Amino acid sequence: MRQSHLFTKTRKSAPKDEVSKNAQLLIRAGYIHKEMAGVYSYLPLGLRVLTRIEQVIREEMDAIGGQETKMATLHPSENWKQTGGWDNVDVLFKLMSRTEKEYALGQSEEEIVTPIGQEYASSYKDLPVAIYQIGQKYRDELRAKSGIMRGREFGMKDMYSFHETQDDFDRFYGIVKEAYFKVYSRCGLDAKVTEASGGAFSEKFSYEFMVLTDAGEDDIVYCEKCTHCANVEVSSQKEGDTCPKCSKGELKSAKAAEVGNVFDLGQKYPKAFNFTFKTNDGTEQYPVMGCYGIGTTRLMGTVVEVLSDDKGIVWPKEIAPYRVHLIGITGGNKDVAAEADKLYDHLQENGIEVLYDDRDARAGEKFADSELIGIPTRIVVSEKTMQEGGVEVVERTTGTAAFIQDSGIIEYFQK
Ligand code: ATP
Ligand code: MG
C-alpha cells in the first residue's frame, strides 16, 4: 500500500474526551474512528489488524475442531423470552419494529445457537460439537470506557459446545484452554487464567483469561512462582498470602483486562429449548453446554496498552497491519525514488506485505509517523543507503538498526 494513497492520515492529538491510551494511539495513527462513546469504526489499518487477530483465533479454533458459522445478530425476541434473558439480561438492546414486533441485538448467541444445535444433534453420535463465529456484539453497557476495550458495539469470537457428559465438557475445556493460550501468545500477550464463579449467566462456574495491564478493569491476585491467579471480586485471597496452589510463592495484586472467558453453562439452555439427545442406552438426555468468548477488539486494545511505548504503537508480527514500513527519503532525487519503488515491488513479489511511505514529506515526519503506526520493521532507502548498495533496517520493538545489502533483504525476512 502506498501511503500517499491511504486515505487516513496521522494526527498530532486525539480527541479531548478520549482518555484511554489505546484509543488515543489508534485514533492518532488512523486505525479507528470514534462514532460515539463505546462505538468505533475500523479504518483500513485497523481492519487489517482486527482481521489478523481474527485469523489467529480462527486457526486455533479450527485446530481443535471448532466449526465456523455466521449467526444472526438481529434476534427474535421469542428466543430471549424463552430463556428468561429478555427480562434478566440488563445489557440487552431491545428493538421495536414498526410492525410492533420486538427484536434483540445479539449480545451473546446462546439463544440462537441452542436451537441450531438442537436441529442437528439428536443422538449421542452427533456429540460433542463445537460451533463458533467471529463478529459484532451489542451491549447496553452503562459505562463505555477504556477505548475499544469496553464498547457498546464490539467484536467477539464466541464458541459454544454441546457434550454428552460433564466429563466430556471438562476434557474439552482443557483443550480450549491450551488453544486460548496459543492465541494470546501469538498476539504477543502473556495471559493468565482465573477460576471464578460465573454470574447469573452460568449454573456453575467460569474461567477468565487475564492480561496484566493498568487499563484493565479487573483486580486480580497472582503467584509469581506458578500459574495461580484469582479474581479479587470472587475470591478471599489477597496480596501477601501464600499461594494456595504451590505453597511457595507470595500472591501479588494487579489490574488486569479480561481478554477471554469460558462458561460452563450446564444444561440451562438445552432445558430452556427442550433440546435433548438420545443416549447410548436409548434414553433422552439434555446435553452439557459450554461457551467460550474472546473479545477481539478488546484484545486489540490490550495489545496497544501493553506493548506500546512513548513513541507509539508496537505491533507483534502476527497481527501487524503490514510486515514492513518502507520509507523513501528521496530529497527530490528521482533515482532514490525509483530505487524505493523497485524495492516496494520486490518485497511484495516475495510475499512480504509493505506500507510504502512514498509521500512528499520530511524525513523526521515520516519517522515519527512510522513509530506511531508501529509496523514491526522499518526499511529506509536514501541517497546514502543507495551509495552503499543496501538499505537501513530498524526493528520497532528494540529500535536496533542494521545495514543490509540489497541481496540480503528477502533473506532477512525469511529467517
Ligand atoms: P466483562 O466482565 O469485561 O464485562 P463479560 O464477562 O461480560 O466481560 P463475556 O460475556 O464472557 O464477557 O464476553 C466474552 C469476552 O468478550 C470477554 O472476555 C471480553 O474479552 C469481551 N467483552 C465483553 N464485554 C465487552 C465489551 N463491552 N467491549 C469489548 N469487549 C467485551
Ligand atoms: Mg460484561
Give, using CA atoms, the residue closest to atom 16 of ligand 1.
295
Q: Mean pLDDT of all residues in the chain?
A: 96
Neighbour tally for 132: CB within 10 Å: 24
- Assess whether the C-beta atom of 147 lies below 6 angstroms from ligand 1: no
Task: Examine residue 313 and state whether it is found in any structural domain, yes or no.
Answer: no
Q: What confidence category does residue 145 fall into, taking pLDDT thresholds of 50, 70 and 90?
A: confident
- Kindly tell me if the per-residue pLDDT of 197 is higher than 60: no
The contacts of residue 47 (CB under 8 Å, 6+ apart) are none
In the structure, what pLDDT confidence band is assigned to residue 205 with cuts at 50, 70 and 90? confident
Q: Say if ligand 1 is within 6 A of residue 312 CB.
A: no
Average pLDDT for residues 377-404, to the nearest whole number? 97
What is the rounded CA–CA span in Å between residue 85 and residue 350?
Answer: 52
Contact 382, 337 (CB under 8 A): no
State the pTM of this model: 0.97
Domain-terminating residue out of 281, 307, 333: 307
**168 in the same domain as 57:** yes
Distance, CA of 175 to CA of 93 (rounded, Å) = 33
Query: Quick one: pLDDT band at residue 196, thresholds 50, 70, 90?
Result: low
Q: Which of 261, 294, 299 to mutate to test the pocket of ligand 1 (most atoms within 8 A of CB)?
A: 261
In three-state secondary structure terms, 293 is strand
* pLDDT at residue 200 greater than cutoff 60: no
301 lines ligand 1 (CB under 6 A): no
Does 116 share its domain with 249?
yes
The domain of 221 spans 3-307
269 to each of 22, 25, 73, how far by Cα in Å?
36, 41, 18
Give me the pLDDT at residue 202, please.
41
pLDDT at 214 over 50: yes
> Which whole number is the average pLDDT over 230-251?
94
| Residue-level pLDDT at 16 | 87
Ligand 1 atom with the shortest distance to the CA of 294: 15
- Does 318 fall in a domain? no
Residue 169 one-letter amino acid: F
Among 46, 58, 107, 61, CA closest to 303: 46
Residue 392 and residue 280 share a domain: no
Rounded to the nearest angstrom, the distance between the alpha carbon of 150 and the centre of ligand 2 is: 9
- On the question of pLDDT at 257 being above 50, the answer is yes
Residue 76 pLDDT class (50, 70, 90 cuts): very high
For residue 244, how many other CB atoms are within 10 A of its CB? 12
Neighbours of 101 (CB within 10 A): 11
**Where does the pLDDT of residue 204 fall: very low under 50, low under 70, confident under 90, or very high at 90 and above?**
low
Query: Considering its fold, how many domains does the chain have in total?
Result: 2
